[in-house]
Amino acid sequence: MSELVFDGHNDVLLRLWLKKQGDPVRDFLDGDGKGHMDLPRMIKGGMAGGFFAIFVPSAGDDHDDDDDVLNPPPAPEVPKNLSLPVAMQMAALLLRIARESGGRFKVCRTAQEIRDCLADGVIAAIMHIEGAECIDADLAALEVLHAAGLRSVGPVWSRPNIFGHGVPFRFPSSPNTGPGLTEAGKALVKACNRLGILVDLSHLNEKGFWDVAEISSAPLMATHSNAHALAASSRNLTDRQLKAIGETGGLVGLNFANGFLRADGSWRSPNGFDEMLRHLDYMISLAGEDHVGFGSDFDGCRLPAAIGDATGLPRLLDALTGHGFGQELVRKLAHGNWIRVLERTWGG
Ligand code: ZN
> Is 64 a member of any domain?
no
> Is 319 a member of any domain?
yes
Q: How far is the CA of 276 from the centre of ligand 1 (A)?
A: 17
> Is 322 a member of any domain?
yes
Residues 6+ positions from 95 with CB-CB distance below 8 Å: 107, 148, 149
Q: How far is the CA of 272 from the centre of ligand 1 (A)?
A: 23
| 293 closest CA partner among 212, 221, 190 | 221
Q: How far is the CA of 242 from the centre of ligand 1 (A)?
A: 18
Q: How far is the CA of 110 from the centre of ligand 1 (A)?
A: 23
Domain that holds residue 132: 5-59+72-346
Q: How far is the CA of 319 from the centre of ligand 1 (A)?
A: 25
CA geometry: angle at 345 spanning 339 and 346, to 5°? 90
Q: How far is the CA of 235 from the centre of ligand 1 (A)?
A: 9
Q: How far is the CA of 223 from the centre of ligand 1 (A)?
A: 9
Q: What is the CATH number of the domain that holds 215?
A: 3.20.20.140
Per the structure, the count of domains in the chain is: 1
Q: How far is the CA of 239 from the centre of ligand 1 (A)?
A: 20
> Is 66 a member of any domain?
no
Amino acid 94: pLDDT? 98
> Is 67 a member of any domain?
no
Amino acid 124: pLDDT? 98
Q: What is the pLDDT along the chain (348 residues), one digit of tens a residue?
A: 689 999 999 999 999 999 989 999 999 999 999 999 999 999 999 999 999 999 999 987 655 556 788 888 888 898 878 899 999 999 999 999 999 999 999 999 999 999 999 999 999 999 999 999 999 999 999 999 999 999 999 999 999 999 999 999 999 999 999 999 999 999 999 999 999 999 999 999 999 999 999 999 999 999 999 999 999 999 999 999 999 999 999 999 999 999 999 999 999 999 999 999 999 999 999 999 999 999 999 999 999 999 999 999 999 999 999 999 999 999 999 999 999 999 999 985
> Is 53 a member of any domain?
yes
Q: How far is the CA of 113 from the centre of ligand 1 (A)?
A: 25
Q: pTM of this prediction? A: 0.97
**Residue 19 vs residues 15, 22, 27, 35, 307: alpha-carbon distances, Å:** 7, 8, 10, 12, 24
Q: How far is the CA of 262 from the centre of ligand 1 (A)?
A: 17
> Is 183 a member of any domain?
yes
